[in-house]
Structure 1
Amino acid sequence: MTQFTTPARHRSKAAAAWLACLLGVFGAHWWYVGRPRAWLFTAFSVAMLVLAQFYPVWWDNPAFLLLIVPVTEGYIEALVFALKPDEWFDAKYNPGSGRVNRTGWNAVLAAIATTFFGGTVLVFGIALIVMHVYTAMGWLDGYVY
């Protein structure tokens, strides 16, 4: 009797890096690499975006500012995926697939894009958080622009 087995799904390291860079706030890379409880990551981000709509200024409220956490996680993981060796990624996410990653320039471009785009978004996010806290604490009262 012959037993049939389905080969393990092969995941691309570069695709995981690009998903983490571009859609990391929603955990797209978690879904792609098959992490358990990826739905919690996505649900948190969606819930924060929905809650942000109930404030008069959607971008200046705690729910929206909490999105800096999944955004940061996405950018960090994009760099990890892009810069770790192919062998590391294959051992962790492609055991038994029978194929290996050979990323080349695609992963390098993902790392470069993540560094520039991620750095800009994170600095802007930190600035928004600082301005929100300073305003909420009244530290800017009486300040003339």
Structure 2
Amino acid sequence: MTTTHRNKTIATLITAIFGSIGLHRFYLHGAKDVWGWLHFISLPLSLLALAIWPTQQKLFLFAPLLISALIAILEALITGLMPDEKWDLRLNGGSGKKSESTWILAVIIVLTVGVGAIGLIGTIARTFDLLFTGGSYG
């Protein structure tokens, strides 16, 4: 049985941009993927928390979505840095095609590292501000 070929560059790009809502998991594993639905549920859960507690700090209300986004950044790096042979063995076993990564994948990985570092440092800084000063710096 022939399966569809999953492109590693597209999967990495989807993971980096839409990973916090689980779109990459649905692209790679289909609609029955539990981890994809856990990523997806983080957005309505965060919006529900905002509706219930509108006066709370937004960092805590959107924590499920933020955690999902940071996990997605890590998944994008894991996906992008995986060797093509291992990628084909794991996800393209029956497709009959071989993956060939190009420089575009390297650019996506570098940008993902930058965005991930900024997001992680910003999250840590804001969390310490809220926990130790009560949010007096903004």
TM-score range, shorter chain: 0.7 to 0.9
Q: TM-score w.r.t. structure 1 length?
A: 0.79
Unaligned runs of 5+ residues in structure 1 are: none
Counting aligned pairs with the same residue, the percent is 24
- CA–CA separation in structure 2 for the residues paired with 1:74 and 1:97: 26
The SS at the match of 1:16 is helix
| Contact 2:15-2:72 at 8 Å conserved across structures | yes
Superposition pairs for residues 56-71 of structure 1, below 5 Å? Answer: 56-57=54-55, 60-71=58-69
One-letter identity of the residue aligned with 2:92: N
Residue 88 (1) aligns with residue 86 (2): yes
Tell me the CA shift for residue 59 of structure 1: 5.5
- CA–CA separation in structure 2 for the residues paired with 1:19 and 1:83: 15
Match of 2:9 among 11, 14, 27: 14
| CA displacement, residues 70-112 of structure 1 (integer Å, 9 cap, x when unaligned) | 1111111111111111111111111101111111112101101
Q: TM-score w.r.t. structure 2 length?
A: 0.83
Indicate the larger mover: 35-44 or 52-61. Answer: 52-61
Tell me the CA shift for residue 61 of structure 1: 4.6
The SS at the match of 2:93 is coil
| Contact 1:25-1:74 at 8 Å conserved across structures | yes
| Contact 2:20-2:72 at 8 Å conserved across structures | yes
Call closer, same or farther: CA 1:61–1:81 in 2, change over 3 Å.
closer
Q: Across the two proteins, how many residue pairs are aligned to each other?
A: 135
The SS at the match of 2:62 is helix
Tell me the CA shift for residue 51 of structure 1: 1.8
Call closer, same or farther: CA 1:87–1:58 in 2, change over 3 Å.
farther
| Contact 1:65-1:128 at 8 Å conserved across structures | no
Larger Rg: 1
Call closer, same or farther: CA 1:97–1:126 in 2, change over 3 Å.
same
Superposed CA RMSD:
2.5
| CA displacement, residues 5-32 of structure 1 (integer Å, 9 cap, x when unaligned) | 5x20111101111111111111111111
Match of 1:34 among 29, 32, 39: 29
Which has a greater percent of helix?
Answer: 2
